[in-house]
Amino acid sequence: MSRNSNSKYLSVYGEIFQELTNPEDIEKIYELLKGQTISFPQKLYSKEYVREYIRANYGSKSAREIASVLGISDRRVRQIAKER
């Protein structure tokens, strides 16, 4: 699981991540988004990444720790872990 992969983020966050890896970040963000009203999803990570992260860490970390990292509930972590 790569820390620098933009595939773990929902689309809008992934697009921003791609742009922020270049040196002229502010100008690119300006050119990309000028004049737009932007609404960001409340969830940062994609469903696929959340499942992958839970599979990789469930058992070595508590459901509460995983939930804190992913911004979801402990209960949801346990539900996803059972889906294996």
Mean pLDDT value across residues 6-12: 70
Please report the pLDDT score of residue 24 as a whole number. 67
The reply to whether the predicted model has a pTM over 0.75 is no
Q: What is the pLDDT of residues 30-74, one digit of tens each?
A: 788 889 998 888 888 999 999 999 999 999 999 999 999 999 999
Residue 77: closest CA among 59, 54, 56: 54
pLDDT band at 29 (very low <50, low <70, confident <90, very high): confident
Residue 57: closest CA among 68, 41, 44: 68
